[in-house]
Structure 1
Amino acid sequence: MDQSEVEYKVKPRIQKGKQVEILMEENACFYDLTYYLNGCTNQNPDADEDERQITPTLNLLNISYDVSEYIGPWWKGACFRKKKQKRVVNDINVQFRSGELTAILGSSGSGKTSLLDIIASRSNGRIGGKVYYNNYLCTAEVIKQYAAYVMQADRLLHNLTVRETIRYAALLRLPGKMNSKEIDEKVNKAIAEMGLKHVADSRIGGSVVRGISGGERRRVTIAIQLLQDPKILLLDEPTTGLDSCTTRHLVSSLSDIAHNGKIVILTIHQPRSDVFKMFDKIGLLSMGEMVYFGKSGQMVEYFQDLGYPCPTYASPFDHYVDLASIDRRNHERELETMSKVQKLVQAFSNSSINDENIHNIEEETMRHSTRRTMLFFFKPQPPSLMRVLYCLIGRMLVNLKRDRTIYMSRLVMLSLFVPFVCAFLGHIKTDQKSIQDRIGLMYQSVGVPTYVGILIAVGVFPPLRDLYFRECRDGLYSTTSFLLSYAIHIIPFQAISAMIFSIIVYWVTGLHPSWSRFAIYYATIFVLHFIGEIMTVGVMGVFFNPQIANSTSALILSASVLIATGFLRSFPSMLDIFQWGSWLSVMKYSAEILVANEFSGLNFTCPPMPNIPCQYPTGEKYLADYYPDAVEHMRRNFWALGGFMVSFLFFTIVAFKIRGIPNLH
């Protein structure tokens, strides 16, 4: 076939696709207008057509997807690096039908996950073409109501049971008007549908504590998405890391779900031959273009007619994925395989199977809407804010109390510093030398609670953050709700931990013997402990790596203690910029509170020898030299601590919102 014949056959098809797209936009606008003017039940469809069994479809018309990528090293910055457009998906025309299980095959980088992102309205680049479900443009609202997306990674809390995991998800996903009995029925149905009854009361488990198997974790993730009874189920690499037996059972369950009237689409990287016949349709992608899309039973015959028969005893999946892959071991092999793939793409574009696909899309998209194809756009009453907070806080507490290591670290990690402080300082006296001892104790009282807060946040928060990324992407709750729940659930533990630390350190070291002053000391320790953890959580919203977040938070707090407390160097002797900057640090106000609380009203003994001067006979004399007006500013400083608590929580929310949700694939 020469080039002119190829162009002659391809051009009408492209024009035809454009015509379909234009007409579809007109029809969609007309039907949307009719829907909003006449309501859901005032349609008068053709009676004969309404009586026919109409299968819901998902149609992709002339889909292309371009993403931006920077050229050059990252340290040049966005302003100095060139940016180019990369086409990830190109000219895709396919139809997915209800009651069919469709597998999208292809090697890494072929565009499988990008195709799912386009359907799910989760893409970040520029999309060409349209996606329609039952003649309606698939916007984010349509997808949220009718589709569910199961991502590749299982983000589950290891200490919860299967039933608890699904029930907490149901509380967040199901309408607010549903009562506890109705929610339990939904949970039990999802457990039964995914074959999880035998492990319903078993823990999810993780790398340390053994729980359910990897295949069962995948089933739990799918069961969560089935709670809302979606019409479209998208799954990204659901069989990754599973053995052949588990893979077969999982695909069999997905096939049953599809045949019960849903559109089920999954991507798969290395499928096994024993699941070949379970797929109703197969799409084979390479370099973002469709090499084959049709019935699974026709694939071998199709490639055999092209001159690529499947060898005896070879898996058709493996063989044809290899056939459509690019070999990049050297330049010659890359050019050779790219040329072969381009011929395969061209052959499918001119094939009768593709003609049938386009004909089906035209027939479906040109058909008038009826009651059977009408989409009912409604927004069920979401769970109330109180239910969301109750669910999030309850889930965090259950997950925490099941892990003895984390639970005890929250309560006693701060207290582990107590023996070192008490053994080093002992019972502080009231002579001139004790002034330095008290300043050292104040230094430890300011630094230790914040640093322990860093350690706890780094060890506890990442699994909760990963789960938040998935659920916030599904639109279950806001960033504010999640972080507010986290802050509320840590307060009791920090209050107890700060109390144990304070009551031992304060009375064993012999600080000012007053319960009212002890209360001030305790309140300061509690606030610093809280701020250390919340600030680290905010840093982990910016840096996804916990080790980097740990180092960054420790650096910030260490610099604050060095500059803003006046313990290591007096304020008058520091540079002006440091003196000004100290007003922006919580350490300045907490240090003034602790010093004023301890030194005010304290009398020091002087050396018995008359030739040695008594520099600070009273605490007020010391405060006048180094912390003037600290006593008078006590109320102001406490207001500042409260403001810093709110400010750090606000900073954490803003950090998460600006950074956004990463690519969870």
Structure 2
Amino acid sequence: MLLLGPNNTINALPQYCTPLLPCLHARLGQKSCGAPMGPFEPYVCKRGYYCPPGGKEMIICPSRSYCPEGSVAPLRCSAGSVCKEGSIKSNTWLPLAFLIIIDLALIAAIMLHWLRKRLASSRTAGGEKVMSFMNRARNGASGYKSLDDDMIALVEPRITQIHRQPTGFVAAMEDFTYQPETLYESRSGKIEEEVADTEELRAFINSLRRCIDGSQFGLSFAFADLGFHPKGAAKPVLCGITGEIKRGSLVGVLGGSGAGKSTFVNVLMGKQINTGGTVIVNGTVGKVAQYKKIIGYVPQDDVVLPELTVKENILHSARIRLPSNWSDDDIHKHVDALIACLELSHVKDSLVGSTARPVISGGQRKRVSIGMELAAAPMALFLDEPTSGLDATSAGHIMNILKVLSRLGITVVTIIHQPRKEIFETIDDLILLANGRLIYQGRESDAPTFFERAGFIFPEHANPADTIMDIITGQGRPYKRVGDTSKEALIEHWQSISQNRREELTTRPGSTTEENTALRRSIRRRGAPLHRQIYFCLSRSLLQQYRLKSSWWFEMGIASLGGFLIGLALNSKSGAIFVGLYRDNYEILSSALDYQTIPIMALLVAISIGLIASSPSVKMFGEEKLIYWREAASGHNRLAYYLGKVISTLPRILMGCLHFSTFFMLLATPRISWPRAFAANVLYFYCIYGLASICSMVTRREDGPLIATMAGLIVGILSGMAPQLSQVAKWHMTWLWRASPGVWIGEVYFSEDILPLGDLYQIEDAARVTGMVLDRYAMDLAILLVIGTVYRIIAFAELVLVKRHKQK
């Protein structure tokens, strides 16, 4: 609003006087002259006052209102603001109060949960009993048996001398009577009868029977001329593998480094492309991929979530993969029985921890990894070196578990590297490989005889596994003084005695029609529906975030600091962040123009949000690729996994934006309203999380945060500040800037901050100079939402398409 000077009359119209030196200095500093330059010159209504139309009076701004420069009427302060008489800006304190209440409530809830756990732990501990037991243990006193099982479970991790009585699978292994004549038959009835006193195992068997919907628990495999020729390779990695894996057998795959063990298992399971040969499952020719839901695969590395407990890791697998008609109570009972069989009941509520910071032992981690597959009641189980990295006792324990599973009728195939004698003797059948070819396939007990017939001598009292490993790796000269001991000779020897094996395997009668029908019915029932999988993935992700509270609070602290620093940088302007040309007939009075502060503010907001949100988003998506690959390969719905993760980030986005926006708006006090600024900021957070997830899908774990941060900085710089959109249009590159979310949030701030000044300044000229479009707030937000969603669609496509062989 322009106010007429006191000497202006109809006969003495306003005139422009040459500015004095102090006024010139003020205008160069982007300020207006505080007083008229002469008796006839009009001037702008001062800040803290408003000038009603007519320009004859200047009234001080009333309380609960604020009046920026050139106000025609006082502007109402928003709810929760403190606006005294003569206020020039609106300081909104309500969001800060709301933020403090939320943070205090979260801290109180966390403390209350922690105290409850401490109290429960104290009650369980029974302090006097523990101290008494510890003292007896130090003094070498006896009396362990007088303690109850709960007490033993409590102190067992600290008192290494205690040995628990075998239960579950281990007890079944000790009680089971070995019957070679029934080696490859379904033994669920036999083993249940022999270990009738093992309640956990009986419960697990009943769950298997209900889940499998048939009398046969295992799958049989036959394969002829199995091969694998990588694209572009000079020769095949696997060639001419012919043999069979009988239902309910424990099969060991042995060979030296590079022999093709893992390749053979991957090809048999359908995890590789560019393969050849025939695979027959239960007498039916077809792809193994169609049996994915009833086949378990345990990778060599223990791919488990360290933030979850033993039971939570296994329970999630069961909820996703068990039949959809099972109730949650049934699933809990199944998982509890399995945990008991794996002898993990005393640590089921313990966090798994990472390999760098373990909470449970290596053997227990391996049993958790196996339990995640057994929770799905598989009919066949493939394992990649399950004893790798374990001590002799733990390795023997794992193999005993696998032995009992095979005795239940589940087909178990495991890659073994240099097994000791006790482990070697638990294996039913051997598949020996060298140079991607077969050397021997048959019973473990017949293997020494096979090699002795080929001229090799097995030393007395030596581990036969060591001797066989030496022979199949081409180091068999000490066991055969005369003749060829090369791997090629062994391969040719096996081929010469198994020429008719292919025809025998492919013509063997398969399963009955009733068995095949029951198998197909069992497969169809497996897996929770999509909406429940999304819910389970969401719940798991939120639980992970809760367990990583320090990361949450660190992100909130960084968001608060970012908003505080940007707000502090703009605080001195007191909300006057735009100066334009005055309306017609008064342009000559205009101060030095300021079209840059608002774009700079938007640029700082975009860069700050990019720095705040990039790294946490990478951590949410990029650190669980191994888990995703394992779950996708087991039949987990990939869309459910991704949507669960995406939805779980929304509370983090909202809270991060709340911390950032509260301090930024309180200190910077731009003219845009708090709700509108918050909506724009939260959608920009949404975009940065989506952009960072794209980066996390195609980068290594250690490179993801840096690359995502750089991507966030780039889209922030493309906000239309430097170069301006008007300049970019001359390069015909506007489409590139408009593809960045930074330019849309910049347009929101620019438009919302200068639209209230339309009566005073030529805001159309400012829009033309900068290239921004005014008054399309809803469209700006809609495009931010679309860009963030497109980012997530691209990230999901990357998730599905990158490393596809690991998802089979």
What is the TM-score when the length of structure 2 is the normalising length?
0.65
Code of the residue aligned with 2:750 in structure 1: it is V
Shift of 1:99: 3.3
Q: Which residue of 2 aligns with 1:408?
A: 553
Q: CA offset at residue 326 of structure 1?
A: 6.0
What amino acid does structure 2 have at the position aligned with 1:396? Answer: S
Q: Which residue of structure 2 aligns with residue 639 of structure 1? A: 782
**Does the C-alpha gap of structure 1 residues 313 and 534 become closer, same or farther in structure 2, counting only changes over 3 Å?**
farther
Q: In structure 2, do the counterparts of structure 1 residues 554 and 493 end up closer, same or farther at CA, with 3 Å as the change threshold?
A: closer
Q: Residue 663 of structure 1 aligns to a residue in which SS?
A: helix
- With 249-258 and 164-173 compared, the bigger mean Cα shift is at 164-173
1:398-547 maps to which residues of 2 (within 5 A)? 398-429=543-574, 430=576, 436-478=596-638, 480-512=639-671, 517-541=673-697, 543-547=698-702
2:714 corresponds to which of 535, 547, 559: 559
SS of 1:427's partner is helix
Q: Distance in 1 between matches of 2:508 and 2:249?
A: 19
Q: Do the aligned partners of residues 367 and 442 (structure 1) sit closer, same or farther apart at CA in structure 2, a change above 3 Å counting?
A: closer
Q: Which of 110-119 and 408-417 deviates more?
A: 408-417
Query: Is the CA contact 1:452–1:532 (under 8 Å) kept in the aligned structure 2?
Result: no
1:95 alignment partner AA: E
Determine the structure 1 residue equivalent to 2:495: 349
- Seen in structure 2, the aligned counterparts of structure 1 residues 55 and 568 have a Cα distance that, compared at 3 Å, is closer
User: Could you report, residue by residue, the CA deviation over 1:12-59 in whole angstroms, capped at 9, with x for unpaired residues?
Assistant: xxxxxxxxxxxxxxxxxxxxxxxxxxxxxxxxxxxxxxxxx9997634
Q: Which residue of 2 aligns with 1:113?
A: 262
Counterpart Cα distance in 2 of 1:257 and 1:92: 26
Matched residue, 2:539: 394
Structure 2 distance, partners of 1:425, 1:545, is 38
Could you say which residue in structure 1 is the equivalent of 2:66?
none
Residues 584 and 223 of structure 1, relative CA distance in 2, 3 Å threshold: same
Aligned to 1:45: none
Match of 2:319 among 171, 174, 184: 171
Quick check: 2:610–2:716 contact (8 Å CA) kept in 1? no
**One-letter amino acid matched to 2:473:** S
Contact 2:690 2:789 in 1 (8 A): no
The separation in 2 between residues aligned to 1:639 and 1:286, in whole angstroms, is 60
Counterpart CA distance in 1 for 2:390 and 2:757 is 69
2:237 partner SS: strand
- Alignment-mate amino acid for residue 799 of structure 2: F
Q: Mean alpha-carbon deviation: is it higher for 277-286 or for 648-657?
A: 648-657
Query: 1:106 touches 1:286 (CA, 8 Å); kept in 2?
Result: yes
Q: Secondary structure at the match of 2:425?
A: helix
Looking at structure 2, the residues matched to 447 and 278 of structure 1 have their Cα atoms a distance apart, in angstroms, of 61
Counterpart position of 2:722: 568
Q: 2:752 matched to 1:597?
A: yes
| Residues 662 and 144 of structure 1, relative CA distance in 2, 3 Å threshold | closer
Offset of residue 416 of structure 1: 2.9
Cα offset for 1:396?
0.4
- What secondary structure, in the 3-state scheme, does the structure 1 residue paired with 2:229 have? strand
Distance 1:197 1:127 in 2: 44
1:79 is matched with none
How far is the alpha carbon of 1:216 from its aligned partner?
A: 1.4
Per-residue CA deviation, residues 46-105 of structure 1 (Å, 9 max, x unaligned), is: xxxxxxx99976343422213224xxxxxxxxxxxxx34532222222222233211000
Q: Deviations over 1:221-269 (max 9, x none)?
A: 2112112322221111212221221111101110011112121110112
Tell me how far 1:537 sits from its aligned partner: 1.0
Distance 1:309 1:618 in 2: 101
CA-to-aligned-CA distance 1:313-335 (integer Å, 9 cap, x gap): 643323322332269xxxxxxxx
Partner of 1:661: 804
Q: CA deviation at 1:435?
A: 6.2
> Any unmatched runs of 5+ in structure 1?
1-52, 70-82, 328-336, 605-616
List aligned pairs for 1:28-47, cutoff 5 A: none
* 1:208-227 correspondence runs (5 A): 209-227=357-375
| Rounded Cα–Cα distance in structure 2 between residues aligned with 1:320 and 1:381 | 41
Deviates more, 1:285-294 or 1:438-447: 438-447
Q: Measured at CA, do residues 470 and 87 of structure 1 come closer, stay the same or move farther in structure 2, by a change above 3 Å?
A: same
1:134 aligns with 2:288: no
Q: Does 1:582 pair with 2:752?
A: no
- Mapped to 1, the partners of 2:315 and 2:284 lie a distance apart of 32
Other-structure match for 2:395: 247
The SS at the match of 1:131 is strand
**Deviation string, structure 1 residues 605-663 (Cα, Å, up to 9, x no partner):** xxxxxxxxxxxx84837733434563323232122112212222222222223325353
Q: Give the counterpart of 2:225 among 59, 63, 85.
A: 63
Structure 1 residue 414, shift from structure 2 partner = 1.9
Instruction: Give 1:177 shift.
Output: 1.5
Cα distance in 1 between the residues matched to 2:515 and 2:566:
74
The verdict on how the C-alpha distance between 1:314 and 1:415 changes in structure 2, with shifts beyond 3 A counting, is: farther
1:191-220 residue CA offsets vs partner (Å, 9 max, x unmatched): 123222121111111145432222212211
Amino acid at match of 2:788: M
1:624 to 767, 771, 790: 767
Distance 1:148 1:366, change over 3 A: same
Query: Which of the numbers 153, 156, 159 marks the counterpart of 2:304?
Result: 156
User: In structure 2, the residue corresponding to 1:582 is in which secondary structure?
Assistant: helix
Greater mean alpha carbon deviation, residues 441-450 or residues 390-399: 441-450
Determine if contact 1:521/1:594 at 8 Å carries over to the other structure.
Answer: yes
CA displacement, residues 279-336 of structure 1 (integer Å, 9 cap, x when unaligned): 1122211011111222222323332332332345643323322332269xxxxxxxxx
CA distance in 1, matches of 2:259, 2:472: 9
Matches of 1:410 and 1:355, distance apart in 2:
66
Match for 2:487: what amino acid? V
Going from structure 1 to structure 2, the CA distance change for 1:437 and 1:135 (only over 3 Å counts) comes to same
Instruction: Give yes or no for contact 2:255–2:472 (8 Å, CA) kept in 1.
Output: yes
Instruction: Please name the residue that 1:609 is paired with.
Output: none
Q: Report the CA distance shift for 1:635/1:355 in structure 2 as closer, same or farther (over 3 A).
A: closer
Q: Tell me, yes or no, if the aligned pair for 1:534 and 1:652 is still in contact at 8 Å.
A: yes
Shift of 1:167: 1.2
Aligned length: 570
Shift of 1:499: 0.9
> Structure 1 pair 193/357, CA: closer, same or farther in 2 (3 Å)?
farther
Structure 1 counterpart of 2:273: 124
1:325 aligns with 2:473: yes
CA RMSD of aligned residues (A): 3.1
How far apart are the structure 2 equivalents of 1:284 and 1:314?
19
Partner of 2:442: helix, strand, or coil? strand
Distance 2:796 2:510 in 1: 47
Correspondence for 2:333: 185
The letter for the 2-side match of 1:558 is L
Judging changes above 3 Å, is the alpha-carbon distance between structure 1 residues 54 and 578 closer, same or farther for their aligned structure 2 residues?
closer
Q: Distance in 1 between matches of 2:370 and 2:684?
A: 42
Return closer, same or farther for 1:439/1:583 CA change in 2, 3 Å cut-off: closer
Match of 1:289 in 2: 437
Query: In structure 2, do the counterparts of structure 1 residues 370 and 54 end up closer, same or farther at CA, with 3 Å as the change threshold?
Result: farther
Q: Matched residues in 1 for 2:510 and 2:756: separation?
A: 89
Shift in CA distance, 255/437, structure 1 to aligned 2, threshold 3 Å: same
CA contact (8 A) 1:95 1:357 kept: no
Query: If you compute each CA radius of gyration, which structure gives the higher value, 1 or 2?
Result: 2
How many Å separate the matches in 2 of 1:577 and 1:107? Answer: 61
* Paired AA for residue 68 in structure 1: P
Alpha-carbon spacing, 1:359–1:578, altered in 2? closer, same or farther (3 Å): closer
Q: Which runs of 5+ in 2 are unaligned?
A: 1-214, 476-482, 580-591
Shift of the 198–450 alpha-carbon distance from structure 1 to 2, 3 Å rule, reads: same
Q: Which structure is higher in helix share?
A: 1
Q: Identity of aligned pairs, percent?
A: 20
Distance 2:312 2:454 in 1: 52
